[in-house]
Structure 1
Amino acid sequence: MRIIYIHQYFKTPTEGGAVRSFHLAKGLVDAGHEVEMITGGAEDGYDQRWIEGIKVHYLPVGYDQKFGFVKRVVSFLSYIHLAKKLIKKLTRPDLLYVTSTPLTTGLLGLWAKKVLAIPYIFEVRDLWPQAPIEVGAIKNPLLKSGLKRLEKRIYQRAMSLVALSPGIADHLRQVTPSQKIHLIPNFSDLHSFFPMEKKRSLLQKYGLNDELTIAYTGALGQVNAVDELLNLAEMANRKGKNWQFLIMGEGSHENELKASARQKSLTNVHFIPFGAKEKVNEVLSLADFAWISFAHLPVLKTNSPNKFFDGLAAGKAILVNHKGWVYDLVKTHQLGISCLPSKINSAFAKLEKIESDARELEKMGNNSRKLAEQYFHKELAIAHLCKVIEPNKSVENSEEDTFMITG
């Protein structure tokens, strides 16, 4: 089958960041499909590369999380315009696999179905426009209602929908009750991420001691609530703890977080430059807990964050700041502890207890790796996607297997 994969922010493991589309596309290629990826990011005009059997088309469309609202809209619409022109030049595909965000990628699916009679599957990574509405990025009532109508039309006209979490799947059922919905969460790369002992040489490299360490590896944006990790670091400072806090990432709030750490004299907080997956695993190897955080908005409870699945594969105990799907998994499978803002004192006391209980910490980490191996390895996600694309093919684990671990 010929598949055109639409993802505006396609990344490879060597680039770092969210690499779900890379693994799914490569999995489809390995299964015998022909996959062409259309993405943005080319600096000087159009570029094309072969990456692990995937033919990747890079369009000259820039994007940065630091972009303001207007600049983001221009980026989204430029990508749609150039992608349409490219699709018309390519050999006709059997299917478009369209992934959000942004929601505007769905315009390509609508256009391809109407103008070229090409069906599309739409993958919902985050709930747009609900997320930017709740964050406050979209305030105009007419724009809100217009985007919600567009969302419904994109969902309704797709051949089927792919949701990344049970919460997203529930939302899709509310918007389009009759649509076929598949649950394929984000997943763990068990080969790139794996349990490692804290190496003395690495501790020295990063200027760290062998003390309780909490690491955040992900985007540093408005919705990521990494400032709450700074609050925990400040409390540790105040109480004379030698705990260490690692923050590895980049984003619109990076400078603000660094300024806050300086202002509070948080010498126990170490900022590490964003890097490829091997570097992320290296940083996680120095941590006892992986910090998973989002702002406290209802829509963000549905998220399926890559950093959580990286932490599972690395065999890390999980420290989560919000309720939702990840919170339920942590609680049900004894992966770690919660650190809700209203219960930070209770969480701190639990961390103090765990600090001197190596067996409990090891148990949590083992539970994380076990969950990744059983339910969240990338091969399972690829097999499920192949089943979505070719329904008559058999697959070892069904959609219901994934629903069993929602907590």
Structure 2
Amino acid sequence: MKIVYIHQYFKTYSDGGSSRSYYLAKSLVDNGFDVELITSHNSKDYLFTTIEGIKVHYLPVSYDNHMGFFDRIWSFLSFMFQAYKLTRKIKNIDSCYVSSTPLTVGITALLLKWQRNIPYHFEVRDLWPLAPIQLGIIKNRWLQKFLSRLEQRIYEEATSIIALSPGIASHIQQCVPYKTIHLLPNISDCDFFQKEAKKTYLTDKYDTTHKFVVTYFGAIGQVNNLQSLIEVAKTAQEANNQALRFLIVGRGNQLAEVQKLAKQYQLTNILFIPHVSKYQLREIINITDAVYVSFASYPVLETSSPNKFFDTLASGKLCITNTSGWIAQLIEEYECGFYVNPTKPEELLTKISYYMADPEVLEQAQYNARRLAETQFSREHLTRKFVQILDPSLATHTRVKHVVTV
């Protein structure tokens, strides 16, 4: 079976960021599918390459977290048109797998179905247009209505819909109650990430001996509310808490503002590290005790399925989140961390002191995190389920093969 997989932000371990589309595409290849993946890169030229059997088309469409609203819209539209143009050159397509955001990739899928009778599966990573509407980014009511109708039509025409969280699945079910929604959260790579003994040094200049390290990694944008972690660091420094250290790893359009706030507070207990590859991230996690999963306080963000959370579980680290919703419920149900109110920085210090004071309690929470990854979100389990969604005939003999090259 030949599948065209469309995702604007395909990333490998070397690129850093979410590796979900790599995991899923690789599982299809391992099970005999012919996979052509269409994505983009910040280059002026088209590039074609093969990555572990995945035929990858890189379209010259720039995108960066520093972009403003209109630049992002232009990037989305440009990718949509170029992806559709490219698919017209690909012959013998049996099916299409389309991953949003942005929602506009669904237009490419609709055109393929209408013009060439190619069915498509639609993956919903974030709720559009609900997210930008709640965040106040899309204010025009006519545009809101148009995008909501487009969302509805994309759902209606899809062969199947894949949601990354229960909240996303519930929203889609309300839009198209007669459709079957598959829940397929983000993936914990329990081979690449391991629960290991904590290391002491990240670099020769950064010694974490006798320090409890809390790390945030990922995008640093409006929806991530990293100012809340700066307030925690400030509260810790004012309390003369010498044992806590904070790391912020990543990039985004709010990075400068977050760094400015840390400088304003004259914080000496926090370190900023630029965007890194997955390999480098693994080294950073290995000096980390707890990972901070942060979002701004909007209801739609409570439905998120952040890849950083699933990497944290696989690494066997204490999980801290400042957003209520299904992630907070999982953390507390499986006793692998805790929720904190983002407006009360002292709350994190109070709760984390419990784990800092008792290594056995910390070890148990970290063990629980790893166990949750292995039993519910492992790459082997979720990629098998994914392949069976696309081809139910493989339900009894799905192969899962992946090799991590270090």
Hey, what's the Cα distance between the residues in 1 that align with 2:223 and 2:8?
Answer: 20
Look up the match of 2:64. Answer: 64
Hey, what's the Cα distance between the residues in 2 that align with 1:237 and 1:5?
Answer: 48
Look up the match of 1:319. Answer: 320
Amino acid at match of 2:3: I
Hey, what's the Cα distance between the residues in 1 that align with 2:175 and 2:369?
Answer: 33
Look up the match of 2:149. Answer: 149
Q: What secondary structure sits across from 2:8 in the alignment?
A: coil
Q: Where do 1:291-310 residues align within 5 Å?
A: 291-310=292-311
Hey, what's the Cα distance between the residues in 2 that align with 1:62 and 1:249?
Answer: 18
Amino acid at match of 1:364: A
Structure 1 stretches lacking a partner, 5+ long: 398-407
Change (3 A) 1:212 1:201: closer
Q: What secondary structure sits across from 2:67 in the alignment?
A: coil
Q: Which runs of 4+ in 1 moved over 4 A?
A: none
Hey, what's the Cα distance between the residues in 2 that align with 1:33 and 1:224?
Answer: 37
Alpha-carbon RMSD across the aligned residues, in angstroms, is 1.4
Q: Where do 1:77-116 residues align within 5 Å?
A: 77-116=77-116
**2:43 is the alignment partner of 1:43:** yes
User: Which of 178-187 and 35-44 deviates more?
Assistant: 35-44
Hey, what's the Cα distance between the residues in 1 that align with 2:45 and 2:187?
Answer: 33
Amino acid at match of 2:307: N
Q: Where do 1:72-221 residues align within 5 Å?
A: 72-202=72-202, 204-221=204-221
CA offsets 1:160-198 (integer angstroms, 9 cap, x no match): 100000110001100110112101000111122112223
1:192 touches 1:277 (CA, 8 Å); kept in 2? no
Look up the match of 1:8. Answer: 8
Q: State the Cα distance separating 1:329 from its structure 2 match.
A: 0.3
Q: Where do 1:264-275 residues align within 5 Å?
A: 264-275=265-276
Hey, what's the Cα distance between the residues in 2 that align with 1:284 and 1:132?
Answer: 31
Change (3 A) 1:262 1:355: same
Amino acid at match of 1:313: A
Query: How many residue pairs were aligned?
Result: 397
CA offsets 1:188-241 (integer angstroms, 9 cap, x no match): 111221122232343644343421110001110110111111111111001110
Q: State the Cα distance separating 1:60 from its structure 2 match.
A: 1.0
Q: What secondary structure sits across from 2:104 in the alignment?
A: helix
Q: What secondary structure sits across from 2:182 in the alignment?
A: strand
Amino acid at match of 1:268: N
Change (3 A) 1:390 1:230: same
**2:358 is the alignment partner of 1:351:** no
CA offsets 1:15-64 (integer angstroms, 9 cap, x no match): 10111001100111001101000011151321100011000001111111
Q: State the Cα distance separating 1:338 from its structure 2 match.
A: 1.4
Amino acid at match of 1:237: Q
Q: State the Cα distance separating 1:332 from its structure 2 match.
A: 0.4
Q: Where do 1:253-272 residues align within 5 Å?
A: 253-272=254-273
Amino acid at match of 1:163: A
Amino acid at match of 1:328: Q
1:28 touches 1:386 (CA, 8 Å); kept in 2? yes
User: Which of 337-346 and 94-103 deviates more?
Assistant: 337-346
Amino acid at match of 1:39: T
Q: What secondary structure sits across from 1:341 in the alignment?
A: coil
Amino acid at match of 1:244: R
Hey, what's the Cα distance between the residues in 2 that align with 1:395 and 1:124?
Answer: 27
Look up the match of 1:336. Answer: 337
Q: What secondary structure sits across from 2:71 in the alignment?
A: helix
TM-score by length of structure 2 reads 0.95
Hey, what's the Cα distance between the residues in 1 that align with 2:274 and 2:19?
Answer: 18
Q: State the Cα distance separating 1:80 from its structure 2 match.
A: 1.2
Q: What secondary structure sits across from 2:301 in the alignment?
A: helix
1:129 touches 1:148 (CA, 8 Å); kept in 2? yes
Q: Where do 1:389-404 residues align within 5 Å?
A: 389-394=390-395
Change (3 A) 1:362 1:204: farther
Look up the match of 2:28. Answer: 28
Hey, what's the Cα distance between the residues in 2 that align with 1:42 and 1:164?
Answer: 27
Q: What secondary structure sits across from 1:304 in the alignment?
A: coil
CA offsets 1:294-351 (integer angstroms, 9 cap, x no match): 1110000000000000100110011110100100001100011211135543332122
Identical amino acids, percent of aligned pairs: 44
Hey, what's the Cα distance between the residues in 1 that align with 2:200 and 2:231?
Answer: 28
Hey, what's the Cα distance between the residues in 2 that align with 1:350 and 1:160?
Answer: 42
Hey, what's the Cα distance between the residues in 2 that align with 1:290 and 1:210?
Answer: 17
Look up the match of 1:403. Answer: none
Structure 2 stretches lacking a partner, 5+ long: 399-406
Q: What secondary structure sits across from 2:108 in the alignment?
A: helix
Hey, what's the Cα distance between the residues in 2 that align with 1:337 and 1:174?
Answer: 30
Q: State the Cα distance separating 1:82 from its structure 2 match.
A: 1.1
Hey, what's the Cα distance between the residues in 1 that align with 2:196 and 2:258?
Answer: 29
2:42 touches 2:63 (CA, 8 Å); kept in 1? no
Change (3 A) 1:396 1:91: closer
TM-score by length of structure 1 reads 0.95
2:201 touches 2:208 (CA, 8 Å); kept in 1? no
Hey, what's the Cα distance between the residues in 2 that align with 1:203 and 1:323?
Answer: 35
Hey, what's the Cα distance between the residues in 1 that align with 2:104 and 2:78?
Answer: 11
Amino acid at match of 1:165: S
